[in-house]
Amino acid sequence: METSFYSFNVNGLRAAIKKGFCEWMLEAKPAVLCLQEIKATPNDIDISFLTNLGYHHYWFPAQKKGYSGVAVFTKLKPDFVALGIDNAEHDFEGRVIRTDYGDVTHIATYFPSGTSGDARQAYKMKFLNDFDEYIAKLRTARPNIIISGDINIAHKEIDINHPKKHTKMSGFLPEERAWVDKFLAKGFTDSFRVFNQQPEQYSWWTYRANAREKNLGWRIDYNFITDTLKPRLKQAAIHANVVQSDHCPVSVVLDL
Protein backbone atom coordinates (compact mmCIF):
# COMPACT_ATOMS: atom_id res chain seq x y z
CA MET A 1 0.00 0.00 0.00
CA GLU A 2 1.50 3.33 -1.06
CA THR A 3 1.27 5.73 1.87
CA SER A 4 1.91 9.48 1.86
CA PHE A 5 3.66 11.19 4.76
CA TYR A 6 3.48 14.99 4.81
CA SER A 7 5.32 17.45 7.03
CA PHE A 8 4.13 21.04 7.36
CA ASN A 9 5.28 23.82 9.69
CA VAL A 10 2.04 25.79 9.89
CA ASN A 11 3.43 28.66 12.02
CA GLY A 12 0.27 28.66 14.11
CA LEU A 13 -2.49 26.19 13.27
CA ARG A 14 -5.29 28.64 14.01
CA ALA A 15 -3.77 31.14 11.58
CA ALA A 16 -3.28 28.45 8.94
CA ILE A 17 -6.91 27.35 9.23
CA LYS A 18 -7.99 30.91 8.47
CA LYS A 19 -5.83 30.77 5.32
CA GLY A 20 -7.38 27.58 3.93
CA PHE A 21 -5.55 24.77 5.74
CA CYS A 22 -8.63 22.54 6.04
CA GLU A 23 -9.43 22.96 2.36
CA TRP A 24 -5.84 22.03 1.50
CA MET A 25 -6.08 18.87 3.63
CA LEU A 26 -9.28 17.89 1.84
CA GLU A 27 -7.54 18.30 -1.51
CA ALA A 28 -4.16 16.76 -0.64
CA LYS A 29 -5.54 13.84 1.38
CA PRO A 30 -2.32 13.03 3.25
CA ALA A 31 -2.37 9.60 4.86
CA VAL A 32 -0.12 10.87 7.65
CA LEU A 33 0.38 14.57 8.30
CA CYS A 34 2.75 15.93 10.92
CA LEU A 35 2.63 19.59 11.88
CA GLN A 36 5.15 21.82 13.57
CA GLU A 37 4.67 25.12 15.39
CA ILE A 38 1.03 24.35 16.02
CA LYS A 39 0.99 26.99 18.79
CA ALA A 40 -2.32 25.52 19.97
CA THR A 41 -4.03 22.68 21.80
CA PRO A 42 -7.03 20.62 20.64
CA ASN A 43 -9.17 22.84 22.84
CA ASP A 44 -8.20 25.91 20.84
CA ILE A 45 -9.74 24.82 17.52
CA ASP A 46 -12.74 22.95 16.18
CA ILE A 47 -11.30 19.49 15.57
CA SER A 48 -14.51 18.10 14.07
CA PHE A 49 -13.02 18.47 10.58
CA LEU A 50 -10.39 15.86 11.50
CA THR A 51 -13.02 13.38 12.63
CA ASN A 52 -15.13 14.09 9.56
CA LEU A 53 -12.13 13.36 7.32
CA GLY A 54 -11.38 10.13 9.15
CA TYR A 55 -8.18 11.15 10.95
CA HIS A 56 -6.84 9.97 14.27
CA HIS A 57 -5.02 12.89 15.87
CA TYR A 58 -2.25 13.19 18.45
CA TRP A 59 -1.03 16.45 19.95
CA PHE A 60 2.11 17.44 21.83
CA PRO A 61 1.88 21.19 22.46
CA ALA A 62 4.58 23.09 24.27
CA GLN A 63 4.00 23.93 27.92
CA LYS A 64 4.49 27.58 27.00
CA LYS A 65 1.20 28.80 25.55
CA GLY A 66 1.27 29.89 21.92
CA TYR A 67 4.71 28.41 21.26
CA SER A 68 6.18 25.51 19.31
CA GLY A 69 4.38 22.16 19.53
CA VAL A 70 3.81 19.26 17.14
CA ALA A 71 0.80 17.20 16.08
CA VAL A 72 0.13 14.13 13.95
CA PHE A 73 -3.07 13.59 11.96
CA THR A 74 -3.23 10.07 10.52
CA LYS A 75 -5.77 7.97 8.66
CA LEU A 76 -3.80 4.89 9.70
CA LYS A 77 -4.37 3.98 13.32
CA PRO A 78 -0.90 3.61 14.88
CA ASP A 79 0.12 0.48 16.71
CA PHE A 80 1.98 2.66 19.20
CA VAL A 81 2.21 6.36 20.05
CA ALA A 82 4.77 8.14 22.23
CA LEU A 83 4.98 11.85 23.02
CA GLY A 84 8.47 13.24 23.51
CA ILE A 85 11.87 11.61 23.85
CA ASP A 86 11.88 11.19 27.63
CA ASN A 87 13.94 14.33 28.09
CA ALA A 88 12.18 16.96 30.18
CA GLU A 89 14.07 19.92 28.73
CA HIS A 90 13.06 19.12 25.16
CA ASP A 91 9.66 17.65 25.92
CA PHE A 92 8.69 20.89 27.69
CA GLU A 93 8.78 22.50 24.24
CA GLY A 94 6.70 19.80 22.48
CA ARG A 95 9.18 18.66 19.83
CA VAL A 96 8.66 14.97 18.99
CA ILE A 97 5.81 12.50 18.41
CA ARG A 98 6.53 8.88 17.53
CA THR A 99 3.95 6.68 15.80
CA ASP A 100 4.43 3.07 14.70
CA TYR A 101 2.72 1.46 11.71
CA GLY A 102 3.60 -2.20 11.38
CA ASP A 103 7.36 -2.45 10.96
CA VAL A 104 7.75 1.29 10.23
CA THR A 105 8.24 4.02 12.84
CA HIS A 106 7.40 7.62 11.99
CA ILE A 107 9.02 10.48 13.91
CA ALA A 108 7.33 13.86 13.67
CA THR A 109 9.69 16.54 14.91
CA TYR A 110 10.36 20.25 15.19
CA PHE A 111 14.02 21.11 15.78
CA PRO A 112 14.80 24.31 17.68
CA SER A 113 15.80 27.51 15.97
CA GLY A 114 18.93 29.28 17.14
CA THR A 115 18.24 32.62 15.51
CA SER A 116 17.27 34.48 18.69
CA GLY A 117 20.73 34.39 20.26
CA ASP A 118 23.64 32.40 21.64
CA ALA A 119 21.64 30.70 24.39
CA ARG A 120 19.11 29.28 21.96
CA GLN A 121 21.85 28.25 19.55
CA ALA A 122 23.54 26.32 22.36
CA TYR A 123 20.20 24.69 23.18
CA LYS A 124 19.75 23.80 19.51
CA MET A 125 23.12 22.02 19.42
CA LYS A 126 22.23 20.13 22.60
CA PHE A 127 18.95 19.04 21.04
CA LEU A 128 20.80 17.80 17.95
CA ASN A 129 23.03 15.60 20.08
CA ASP A 130 20.19 14.32 22.23
CA PHE A 131 18.00 13.61 19.22
CA ASP A 132 20.86 11.69 17.60
CA GLU A 133 21.18 9.52 20.71
CA TYR A 134 17.42 9.00 20.87
CA ILE A 135 17.28 7.80 17.25
CA ALA A 136 20.34 5.56 17.65
CA LYS A 137 18.72 3.81 20.60
CA LEU A 138 15.37 3.55 18.83
CA ARG A 139 16.94 1.95 15.76
CA THR A 140 18.14 -1.03 17.76
CA ALA A 141 14.48 -2.10 18.11
CA ARG A 142 12.89 -0.25 15.19
CA PRO A 143 15.24 -0.26 12.17
CA ASN A 144 12.75 1.22 9.66
CA ILE A 145 12.30 4.90 10.49
CA ILE A 146 10.89 7.98 8.74
CA ILE A 147 11.82 11.35 10.26
CA SER A 148 9.57 14.18 9.11
CA GLY A 149 9.84 17.75 10.21
CA ASP A 150 11.32 21.20 10.27
CA ILE A 151 14.93 20.64 11.28
CA ASN A 152 15.85 24.32 10.93
CA ILE A 153 19.02 23.52 8.97
CA ALA A 154 19.69 24.02 5.27
CA HIS A 155 21.99 21.08 4.62
CA LYS A 156 23.95 22.06 1.51
CA GLU A 157 24.61 25.17 -0.55
CA ILE A 158 21.98 24.00 -3.04
CA ASP A 159 19.42 24.19 -0.22
CA ILE A 160 19.65 27.93 0.38
CA ASN A 161 19.62 31.13 -1.62
CA HIS A 162 22.94 32.98 -1.88
CA PRO A 163 24.76 30.53 0.42
CA LYS A 164 27.88 32.67 0.83
CA LYS A 165 25.75 35.34 2.54
CA HIS A 166 24.45 32.94 5.19
CA THR A 167 27.48 31.04 6.47
CA LYS A 168 27.38 32.80 9.84
CA MET A 169 23.62 32.51 10.33
CA SER A 170 21.92 29.92 12.51
CA GLY A 171 20.42 27.35 10.20
CA PHE A 172 23.43 27.32 7.89
CA LEU A 173 26.33 27.18 10.31
CA PRO A 174 29.14 24.75 9.46
CA GLU A 175 28.61 22.78 12.67
CA GLU A 176 24.89 22.38 11.97
CA ARG A 177 25.49 21.21 8.41
CA ALA A 178 28.18 18.83 9.65
CA TRP A 179 25.67 17.34 12.08
CA VAL A 180 23.33 16.56 9.15
CA ASP A 181 26.25 15.02 7.23
CA LYS A 182 27.09 12.73 10.14
CA PHE A 183 23.46 11.87 10.86
CA LEU A 184 22.74 10.84 7.27
CA ALA A 185 25.99 8.90 7.08
CA LYS A 186 24.70 6.63 9.85
CA GLY A 187 22.17 5.17 7.44
CA PHE A 188 19.59 7.81 6.50
CA THR A 189 18.59 9.21 3.11
CA ASP A 190 17.23 12.66 2.29
CA SER A 191 14.24 11.39 0.31
CA PHE A 192 13.65 14.57 -1.71
CA ARG A 193 17.13 14.54 -3.23
CA VAL A 194 16.62 10.99 -4.51
CA PHE A 195 14.15 12.47 -7.01
CA ASN A 196 15.16 16.10 -7.40
CA GLN A 197 18.71 17.46 -7.64
CA GLN A 198 17.66 20.89 -8.89
CA PRO A 199 18.64 24.15 -7.15
CA GLU A 200 16.14 26.69 -5.80
CA GLN A 201 13.92 24.04 -4.22
CA TYR A 202 12.91 25.63 -0.94
CA SER A 203 10.40 24.99 1.85
CA TRP A 204 10.66 28.23 3.87
CA TRP A 205 10.76 31.90 2.97
CA THR A 206 11.01 34.85 5.33
CA TYR A 207 8.01 37.15 5.33
CA ARG A 208 10.36 40.04 4.72
CA ALA A 209 11.26 41.71 1.41
CA ASN A 210 8.88 39.65 -0.75
CA ALA A 211 11.21 36.68 -0.34
CA ARG A 212 8.64 34.10 -1.42
CA GLU A 213 7.74 35.98 -4.59
CA LYS A 214 11.45 36.17 -5.42
CA ASN A 215 12.00 32.54 -4.30
CA LEU A 216 14.71 33.59 -1.85
CA GLY A 217 14.20 30.61 0.41
CA TRP A 218 15.76 27.85 2.47
CA ARG A 219 15.08 24.12 2.36
CA ILE A 220 14.81 23.28 6.05
CA ASP A 221 11.88 20.83 6.05
CA TYR A 222 12.70 17.19 5.36
CA ASN A 223 11.60 13.60 5.19
CA PHE A 224 14.61 11.46 6.09
CA ILE A 225 14.25 7.70 5.76
CA THR A 226 16.50 4.90 6.93
CA ASP A 227 18.34 3.26 4.06
CA THR A 228 16.40 0.08 4.87
CA LEU A 229 13.31 1.85 3.47
CA LYS A 230 14.87 2.96 0.17
CA PRO A 231 13.47 -0.05 -1.74
CA ARG A 232 9.99 1.09 -0.66
CA LEU A 233 10.50 4.74 -1.65
CA LYS A 234 8.11 5.83 -4.40
CA GLN A 235 8.26 9.63 -4.55
CA ALA A 236 9.05 12.79 -2.62
CA ALA A 237 8.12 16.40 -3.25
CA ILE A 238 8.04 19.99 -2.03
CA HIS A 239 4.63 21.65 -2.38
CA ALA A 240 5.68 25.27 -2.79
CA ASN A 241 2.28 26.34 -4.11
CA VAL A 242 0.69 25.80 -0.67
CA VAL A 243 0.72 29.17 1.08
CA GLN A 244 -0.92 28.84 4.49
CA SER A 245 2.40 29.53 6.25
CA ASP A 246 5.89 30.89 5.69
CA HIS A 247 6.75 27.19 5.17
CA CYS A 248 5.19 24.83 2.65
CA PRO A 249 4.47 21.11 3.01
CA VAL A 250 7.01 18.46 2.03
CA SER A 251 5.99 14.87 1.35
CA VAL A 252 7.28 11.36 0.84
CA VAL A 253 5.42 8.30 -0.44
CA LEU A 254 6.45 4.81 0.64
CA ASP A 255 5.05 1.35 0.05
CA LEU A 256 4.09 0.12 3.51
Q: Which residues are catalytic?
A: 150
Given strand 221-226, what is the order of strands in its sheet? 80-83, 96-101, 104-110, 145-150, 221-226, 188-190
Contact yes or no for 249/202 (Cβ under 8 A): no
Query: What is the strand order of the sheet 250-255 is part of?
Result: 56-60, 70-74, 32-36, 2-9, 250-255, 233-238
DSSP for 108-166 reads EEEPPP-TT-HHHHHHHHHHHHHHHHHHHHHHTT---EEEEEE-S---SGGGBSSGGGS
* Closest by CA position to 250, among listed 177, 214, 188, 196: 196
Give me the amino acid identity at 131: F
Query: Would you say 75 and 102 are in contact if contact means Cβ atoms under 8 Å apart?
Result: no
Torsions phi, psi of 140, nearest 5?
-65, -30
230: which DSSP letter? G
